[in-house]
Chains A and B, each alone.
Chain A
């Protein structure tokens, strides 16, 4: 029999990047990946910038291009990404070790899932990330200096 033609309906990158009608955990998943990639990009740039010291270029001295407001703002975004990624990461460690998803239950409609069980943890971690971000904002704005 001849091979039947098919259409590949795999969503690809849009499958995990697309928000659509998904729930809050899906958005947390997308943001976790994006912040992870952003931190990785910053890390690579950081290596490049610090490695320039080998050729005698000190790019972090006062008045250099890296001290322009746009770079300060960029650093703040990296800090925000770190705050989110770190606290959401703690949640994921607890969840992925099966510690915050609850035991299997009899499925009775309307169904309660592990998403409901871990939701308070998600909210707590986001509140902690928000507090951490707020405290960091004072540092970036130079409040109290």
Chain B
């Protein structure tokens, strides 16, 4: 790679290092990186690995804020390294650490399994009782745009873990479900096709569920996709309260193909292209 160091500015990266085989606890190691306008923190870490220290470890994949792999603590703020330009957050120094509230596997690599296990526990998928239709689908479920808007915002989550790293409740309660799984629960509870909200409420309404949240709001502030988990959790709490008071609106999952078209294609929809595979 040809490096253009013109118009670059030296920024000192203070990076958390931890090797489980040789280190008792994490420590900070500093590297000076020539930074040009437009360089992201992920670019800076690549520079360190290629030129200064090949042993540095971190997670990344897409480099464009889609995969959610490179969540880390930049200047004390959980965010995506690929989405953050160095010169936007640093003048001379930049601290780079692993996401808090997770165990560190090595250097900047957090163990996200606890988050994924909690996510799995809330059944993050559409649950229905008509097994036959689920296994051998014969049609579509009708859903209005208004029904979609009730949960669409929460579907943009990329599971980066930034919200979990920022959550002050999770810092003291390791069993708390956390913003990401609770937002996912709210997303599926509000899906008009879903019938699994009763089971989810057992978990989200438990002692380590939604009511542990007291709206510090950091999850929504740090979310790189604008998912707003804090909003999802507050709406979830309202549903839990209404459910507890038996005031929740009786909700049945939408039936297959009721509404406009009644299963027939509308006249103005072009035919699907021929299969190529």
The finding on whether chains A and B are genuine partners in a shared complex, rather than unrelated, reads yes
Determine if B151 and A104 form an interchain contact, defined as CB atoms under 8 angstroms apart. yes
What is the distance, in angstroms, from B235's C-beta to the closest C-beta of chain A?
A: 4
Pick from A16, A106, A114: contact of B168, CB under 8 Å: A16
- The residue in A29, A99, A104 that gathers the most chain B C-beta atoms within 10 A of its C-beta is A104
Contacts A9-B100, A97-B241, A107-B225 given: A26-B168 contact, CB under 8 Å? yes
**B119 at interface, CB cutoff 8 A:** no
Give A92 to B237 CA distance when docked, in angstroms.
Answer: 12
Determine if A6 and B20 form an interchain contact, defined as CB atoms under 8 angstroms apart. yes
Determine if B98 and A115 form an interchain contact, defined as CB atoms under 8 angstroms apart. no
Give A104 to B227 CA distance when docked, in angstroms.
Answer: 9
What is the distance, in angstroms, from B72's C-beta to the closest C-beta of chain A?
A: 11
Give A9 to B108 CA distance when docked, in angstroms.
Answer: 11
Which residues of chain B have C-beta atoms less than 8 A from A103's C-beta? Answer: 149-150
Determine if B235 and A101 form an interchain contact, defined as CB atoms under 8 angstroms apart. yes
**B177 at interface, CB cutoff 8 A:** no
Which residues of chain A have C-beta atoms less than 8 A from B225's C-beta? Answer: 107
Which residues of chain A have C-beta atoms less than 8 A from B101's C-beta? Answer: 9-11, 15
Give A11 to B76 CA distance when docked, in angstroms.
Answer: 12
**A70 at interface, CB cutoff 8 A:** no
Determine if B226 and A109 form an interchain contact, defined as CB atoms under 8 angstroms apart. yes
Determine if A95 and B228 form an interchain contact, defined as CB atoms under 8 angstroms apart. no
Contacts A23-B217, A115-B217 given: A104-B231 contact, CB under 8 Å? yes
Pick from A15, A33, A96, A111: contact of B215, CB under 8 Å: A96
Q: Which residue of A lies closest to B232 (CB)?
A: A104
For chain B residues 204-249, which have a beta carbon within 8 Å of chain A?
Answer: 213-218, 220-221, 223, 225-228, 230-232, 234-235, 237-238, 241
Interface residues on chain A, size class: 35 or more
Count A/B pairs, Cβ under 8 Å: 147
**A5 at interface, CB cutoff 8 A:** yes
Pick from A16, A20, A111: contact of B169, CB under 8 Å: A16
Determine if A114 and B100 form an interchain contact, defined as CB atoms under 8 angstroms apart. no
Residue tally, chain B, CB below 8 Å to A: 52
Give A51 to B27 CA distance when docked, in angstroms.
Answer: 52
* Interface class of chain A by DSSP: loop
**A64 at interface, CB cutoff 8 A:** no
**B126 at interface, CB cutoff 8 A:** no
Determine if B215 and A92 form an interchain contact, defined as CB atoms under 8 angstroms apart. yes
- The residue in A14, A15, A102 that gathers the most chain B C-beta atoms within 10 A of its C-beta is A15
Q: Return the CB mask of B68-108 against A: 1 if under 8 Å, else 0.
A: 00000001110000000000000000000011111111000
Pick from B151, B174, B218, B231: contact of A102, CB under 8 Å: B231
For chain A residues 36-64, which have a beta carbon within 8 Å of chain B?
Answer: none
Determine if B214 and A29 form an interchain contact, defined as CB atoms under 8 angstroms apart. yes
Q: Which A residues fall within an 8 A CB radius of B?
A: 4-16, 20-23, 25-26, 29-30, 32-33, 92, 95-99, 101-109, 111, 113-115
Q: Which B residues fall within an 8 A CB radius of A?
A: 18, 20-21, 25-26, 75-77, 98-105, 110-111, 149-154, 156, 168-172, 174, 213-218, 220-221, 223, 225-228, 230-232, 234-235, 237-238, 241
Sample (18) of A-B pairs whose CB atoms are under 8 Å apart:
A4-B105, A8-B103, A9-B26, A11-B100, A12-B171, A16-B216, A25-B215, A29-B215, A32-B214, A33-B214, A96-B213, A96-B215, A98-B238, A104-B152, A105-B153, A108-B226, A114-B228, A114-B231
